[in-house]
Chain A
Amino acid sequence: QTVVTQEPSLTVSPGGTVTLTCASSTGAVTSGYYPNWFQQKPGQAPRALIYSTSNKHPWTPARFAGSLLGGKAALTLSGVQPEDEAEYYCLLYHDNARVFGGGTKLTVL
């Protein structure tokens, strides 16, 4: 069974830049894994940010960017805002199944 690994927690200062990554136990993440990224705040449903590696939804703030980096999917936040403090999840497609990473708790401090 595929395991998707994310950093458990990261801390960033307001205005700073941070990169979250998403690795697959099956090997290098490629565009064929169609990486998605989601933001979730306490008590809320997840909100979609990025699909198919780097595509933004109409509501995705410009400071969020998806990419492939060193065999992993990556989500980079530039000019972090206090409201970006949240849990972030990646999702990979693999053999008709989808697998979420364990999530990264991003603290803005």
Chain B
Amino acid sequence: EVQLVESGGGLVQPGGSLRLSCAASGFTFRKYDMHWVRQGAGKGLEWVSAIGTGGDTYYLASVEGRFTISRDDARNSLDLQMDTLYAGDAAVYYCARGGASWGDERFDYWGQGTLVTVSS
């Protein structure tokens, strides 16, 4: 059974940092692209970042330079290092499994999310 479990959310002050993690199980993690998606309170979904199987990374323009996505295929883990956080970054952050090959664009499995609150 595919499982994605996020952790690391919490309360952080504006300008602060937080590191989110996503523990994956039930599939061959190294073979899949992975994504982070967020959802502010009462708002829609917003794609944040992706990492390919080769370590190539992609970001939403508003987080580029502040967020860093990484993966550890040995630990079946996906991370999102978030620096210089703004109030607008407050959201539930989901990790999602992507595709397994070029052109295979899918987000088939999602975690339950971890809440990030940015407030002084």
> Could you say which of B103, B106, B112 contacts A36, with CB atoms under 8 Å apart?
B106
A103 x B50 contact (CB < 8 A) = no
- Report the stretch among B14-22, B41-49, B83-91 that lies at the interface: B41-49
Check B67 for interface membership: any CB of A closer than 8 A.
Answer: no
B45 x A36 contact (CB < 8 A) = no
CA distance A47 to B106 in the complex (A): 12
A91 x B47 contact (CB < 8 A) = yes
In A87-109, the 8 Å CB interface with B consists of 87, 89, 91, 93, 96-103
Check B72 for interface membership: any CB of A closer than 8 A.
Answer: no
The dominant DSSP class at the A interface is strand
The dominant DSSP class at the B interface is loop
CB distance from B50 to the nearest CB of A (A): 7
Q: Kindly name the residue among A1, A36, A45, A99 whose own CB sees the greatest number of chain B CB atoms within 10 A.
A: A45
A-B contact count (CB 8 A): 64
CA distance A23 to B46 in the complex (A): 16
Check B32 for interface membership: any CB of A closer than 8 A.
Answer: no
Closest B residue by C-beta to A50: B106
Number of residues in A with C-beta < 8 Å to the partner?
A: 25
Check A82 for interface membership: any CB of B closer than 8 A.
Answer: no
Chain A residues with CB under 8 Å of B45's CB are: 38, 40, 46, 89, 91, 100, 103
Check A52 for interface membership: any CB of B closer than 8 A.
Answer: yes
Q: Decide: A34 near B105, CB < 8 A? Known: A45-B111, A45-B113, A97-B60.
A: yes
B107 x A103 contact (CB < 8 A) = no
Closest A residue by C-beta to B45: A100
Check B35 for interface membership: any CB of A closer than 8 A.
Answer: yes
The contact sample of 22 A-B pairs, CB cut-off 8 A, is A36-B106, A36-B107, A40-B45, A45-B110, A45-B113, A46-B37, A46-B107, A46-B110, A47-B110, A48-B109, A51-B105, A51-B107, A51-B108, A52-B104, A57-B106, A89-B45, A91-B45, A96-B50, A97-B58, A97-B59, A97-B60, A99-B47
Task: Give the B-binding residues of A (Cβ under 8 A).
Answer: 1, 34, 36, 38, 40, 45-48, 51-52, 55, 57, 87, 89, 91, 93, 96-103
Task: Give the A-binding residues of B (Cβ under 8 A).
Answer: 35, 37, 44-47, 50, 58-61, 94, 103-113
